[in-house]
Structure 1
Amino acid sequence: MSSGCCGPAAPAEQSAQAVPAAQSTAAGQTVPAAGNEQAVLSPQPAHLPVVVIGAGPVGLAAAAHLAERGLGFLVLEAGSRVGASIAQWGHVRTFSPWKYDLDAAARRLLDAHGWAAPDPDWLPTGAELVEHYLAPLAAHPAIAPHLHLNAQVTGISRAGFDRVRTTGREAAPFLIRLADGSEITARAVVDASGTWRTPNVLGASGLPAQGEHAAAAFVDHALPDVLGTDRAAYAGRHTLVVGAGHSAATTLLALAALADEAPDTRITWAIRAGNAARTYGGGAADALPARGALGTRLRALVESGRITLLTGFFTHEVTVDGEAVTVVSRDPSGVEQKVVADRIVAATGYRPDHSIASELRLDLDPVLGSTRALAPLIDPNHHSCGTVPAHGADELAHPEAGYYAVGVKSYGRAPTFLMATGYEQVRSVVAALAGDWAAARQVRLELPETGVCSSDLADAQETRAGLATGISGGLPTTPLPLAGVSATTDGGGCCG
């Protein structure tokens, strides 16, 4: 089966070499490293660049919109390549086809530069998403000079203003500090840094399970390459997969395929819910057929006994005993369950880390960790991925004017994010930064109905596949039992 995708692109590293951010200021002023008291800050933030944090799909989409509108910008990526987080699940095929994975402004830039568009109905792997879309976009002359790799942001503030000071605050530029100590001033900040680096814990209460840190060597987080580079860690061993989202389902299917080749491989699946109906999803009724197939195949494996399902499992304690690890569940009534395994896959989702913005004035919903205005629109008690309404700059705004968290980070702990939603977010935010409020407020979004992403808020961390791109789970590229082809899933949770 051919992907119909474009030809190989130059690696991102060739188009955007890692440059100390303090040396890069085509559109704005750079501030010397902390301690240089001679630093002079511009009193006119409008002359400074917009800083985009993160070079994943949503961050690069923001760059494309900024380029189209002629706004100066810098993109700061902590990794050594664009799509660094996606590259870690490059073996997984998304369950959303290319037609849902491309930003409109990014495509316009690429099309004008001779890009060969991929087959809109093909389901790309994470590696294909990087190679055939993100890398060419990063190499585009409108973006490449403004992209800086190995540029990890450690803090954001207002130059000369801590969170308490008010008078004159909005006239002060943003101050972005990097891990190497260099600093950049900016007129606005678009934070598309995602959540991949901050996975949820195993503990069912939201706190680490007792002994969880000591057992870290036995625990992998979502989407290990079970059939590829990580095969030796799982073949012929007993693996406990914890979580009820698409990432868990993806790993379970891969383990089942591995068990066909390594018969001593055993699989146990633990979820907090009383049954797995939510994970099985809509089957043939799903608007994204590959996602529906994911649940259908998983159900068959459980019903055949090839995967042992434990329900009502609330991880409370993890104990290491030699080469094995014991996981104890204790439900709210005190009833215990116990599993002894060789490996644990914690597919319990991810959460946003707002610590880099701790000196900014944020208005976060106390439950989800999104903006307060966005929370009711994405509440998983009432919405699935396909029913979240379009939203933009107004809903993403904080009291700190000019700072926006976008993409999967904007959703906090809600498991309802779609990559296409992130694209509409940055289109609206960039329009607002350009002063085009009519365009910023004219938000539109056409999404496939999912019917499978809704969950009780208590189960949100298990539902969340939590990838930085807003993709959450999919199928490994190696053909699996019960599937005619290997192209089947997503990398943004319910939602690609």
Structure 2
Amino acid sequence: MSDGCCSTTTSLETTSLQVEHSTIEASGLPVVVIGAGPVGLAAAAQLAERGLDFLILEAGGQAGASVAQWGHVRVFSPWKYSIDAAARRLLEADGWSAPDPEWLPTGAELIDGYLAPLAKLFADKVRFGCRVNAISRLGYDRVRTNGRERAPFLIRLDDGTELQARAVVDASGTYTSPNVLGASGLPAHGEQSVEVDHALPDVLGADRNRYEGKHVLVVGAGHSAATTLLALAQLENTPITWAIRAGNATRTYGGGDADALPARGALGTRLRALVDSGRIRLLTGFYTHHVNTIGQGVEVISRDPSGHEQTVTVERIVSATGYRPDHSITSELRLDLDPVLGSTRALAPLIDPNQHSCGTVPAHGVDELAHPEPGYYAVGVKSYGRAPTFLMATGYEQVRSVVAAIAGDWEAARDVQLDLPETGVCSSNLAEAQEQRVGLATGISGGLLATPLPLVTTGSGGSCCG
């Protein structure tokens, strides 16, 4: 082993393995959890309660490193829906007091009040600054089969360090792989030569000078776009243009008073009022095709499927077009990915945004998350691929089920239960969702986000991830 950030000493000996569906039993090796965000730390809490050895590898320098990127934003759900049950038990046993259960935390509060204390409990089992470069099987590439299930996982880090694991729980998320600005899934012509900001800049705080007094284009129809638009509207002398592919913004406006999460319903209500008043200029049917630098600005050209063009010239662009999973680290593992969403094939029909809203995704666990590679599980936001219907409570139930399976408790693993609200915002009108599919563009997939502190103070309902 090299002496990198995550160097460790593990035995190369393996015991006989018992494999059922996607669970591998081995002694002497830890379960490796990738990512120290809400779902990754919940997985660690489940492992700790079952007495299973584990190691958390976090690429960032702190717990919730991706959450910290939008620390100024409030989540839609109050604290009582944002804390994993196993994590709560461990924290309370250590003397931790839960925050006000009805309070809507910001990302920063989520870290300071929950994620950082939880990571601290796990001490040296959490290793920061450790980016996973690749995952394979020790001595086995993807082609070799005989004896494969008995080989430990081999995890290689960016610094060359290698370590071994009995199972891998990949909760690395999607935040570092945003979708492109181009409307067809390909970068717009010229996109890589202009400066594009990604979702949820701190418009009213650290990034204020980047936007105040400048004409800003926000592209995307999800909650991250709405959050940014509402913040921009508070800046004087700041023209705002909002571009979406759909023919109207009904999906983004959502359910209003009918939304099961009032804070989320209020988000759409306020946005609609700003558009109706003319404070925000809305461009519909906008398919970004080309971007050109013109003087101090950027010309953005839309070309829809019929060839019709629209053009807008702005000074700054915020791309809130969502995120996609990066499976490159698992190229030597045997994954069975749905060709559309990039989730497992078994999970895809349960989360398909053409058929399901955030509140209608059925409970699912280890069986739906299993791959042909026993012992590897992508959980949390990454498990949903490109589907924008993920909620944090879903991730907590996923890891509870997966960890139970790793522990060999198949009765608990398959007893999956999840109670999520039906909501107006999450396209409960499925016919409308189907019609507007081309306009589907969320912010943080798996993170339905509310507006900054001055705009949201209360809320209730099912849990949402930040």
TM-score, normalised relative to structure 2: 0.93
Cα deviation, residue 466, structure 1: 2.1
State the partner residue of 2:21.
none
Secondary structure of 1:284 counterpart:
helix
Residue 114 of structure 1: how far off its partner (Å): 0.6
Matched, 1:151 2:130: yes
Note the 1:214-363 alignment, pairs <5 A.
214-215=193-194, 217=195, 219-258=196-235, 262=236, 264-363=237-336
Q: Quote the Cα distance in structure 2 between the aligned partners of 1:331 and 1:272.
A: 9
Query: Residues 9-408 of structure 1: matches in 2 within 5 Å?
Result: 20-25=4-9, 28-29=10-11, 41-44=12-15, 45-140=26-121, 143-215=122-194, 217=195, 219-258=196-235, 262=236, 264-408=237-381
The whole-number CA distance in structure 2 between the counterparts of 1:56 and 1:320 is 37
Q: Is the 8 A contact 2:366 2:414 kept in 1?
A: yes
C-alpha contact 1:250 1:473 (8 A) present in aligned 2: yes
Note the residue ranges of structure 1 that are not aligned, 5 or more in a row: 1-18, 30-40
Letter in 2 for 1:473: L
Shift of 1:473: 2.2
Instruction: Give me the whole-angstrom Cα distance separating, in 2, the residues matched to 1:59 and 1:202.
Output: 29
Describe the superposition over 1:100-154 as per-residue Cα deviations: whole angstroms up to 9, x where unpaired: 11100000000111111111111000000000000000111xx122110000000
Shift of 1:297: 0.3
Distance 1:283 1:375 in 2: 29
Q: Is the 8 A contact 2:227 2:449 kept in 1?
A: yes
- Cα 1:275–1:495 shift into 2, 3 Å: farther
* Residues 1:466 and 2:419 aligned together: no
Secondary structure of the corresponding residue to residue 309 of structure 1: strand
Cα displacement (A) at 1:96: 1.1
State the alpha-carbon separation in 1 of the partners of residues 318 and 304 from structure 2: 20
Contact 2:246 2:439 in 1 (8 A): no
Aligned to 2:91, what secondary structure does the other structure show?
A: helix
**Contact 2:181–2:321 (8 Å) recurs in 1:** yes
CA distance in 1 between counterparts of 2:7 and 2:203 reads: 41
Residue type at the aligned position of 1:94: V
SS where residue 161 of structure 1 aligns? coil
Query: CA 1:461–1:82 in 2, change beyond 3 Å: closer, same or farther?
Result: farther
Superposition RMSD in Å: 1.9
**Unpaired runs of at least 5, structure 2:** 16-25, 428-432
1:229-264 deviations in Å (ceiling 9; x for gaps): 000010000000000000000000000011xxx2x2
Secondary structure of 2:318's aligned partner = strand
Tell me if the contact between 1:42 and 1:173 (Cα under 8 Å) persists in the aligned partners: no
Partner amino acid, structure 1, of 2:335: L
Shift of 1:24: 3.6
Q: Is 1:476 the counterpart of 2:460 in the alignment? A: no
The count of residues paired between Structure 1 and Structure 2 equals 449
SS in 2 for 1:387: coil
1:94 and 1:474 in contact (8 A); partners too: yes
Letter in 2 for 1:225: D
